Amino acid sequence: MTTPDASSSVPPHVSQTPETLAVPNPAPEANPATAPGLSDRERKALADYHKEQRKVKGSFAASTWAALIVGFLLLILLIIFILQNQQKAVMNFFSWTVEFPAGIAFLIFAIAGALIMALVGGWRMLELRRQVKKHAQAQR
């Protein structure tokens, strides 16, 4: 908060932050929707435009919070699934034999599948990136 000097026309009790200094309050006569010479159709279009501009748009933080909440709910469902599937299951892979609770085994296999899918997707992205670089160099 800055203190106004003697030459300022702002009263001393009004805060002068950068936000209030940069965006002055518009005068009522500056509203283009009430300007003379506009047809009713133009006024309505302008009013709709201003209404659309005043709407609050979603943000990255809001979508991140929504994704976190959905992920947390899925985690709760996964924990319930694992707790309800505690019977032992024998897993054989080549010569290895392991005994796990069924829910844990399903979780391990799901994680392994997700990692394989991520590796294949990452490999594809690297290939596409190389192709784009080659194409950009050929265009020069």
Q: Is the pTM of this model over 0.75?
A: no
Q: Of the ranges 19-28, 41-50, 55-64, 73-82, which one carries the lowest mean pLDDT score?
A: 19-28
DSSP secondary structure string, 71-126?
A: HHHHHHHHHHHHHH--SEEEEEETTEEEEEEHHHHHHHHHHHHHHHHHHHHHHHHH
Contacts 24+ apart (CB under 8 A), 4-11: none
CB proximity list for 108: less than 8 A, separation 6 or greater: 100
The residues that bridge with 88 in the sheet, in sequence order, are 101
Closest CA to 9 of 29, 24, 26: 24
pLDDT digit string (tens) for 55-87? 767 777 888 889 899 989 998 998 898 888 889
102-139 and 60-84 are packed helices; what angle lies between their axes, rounded to 10 degrees? 150
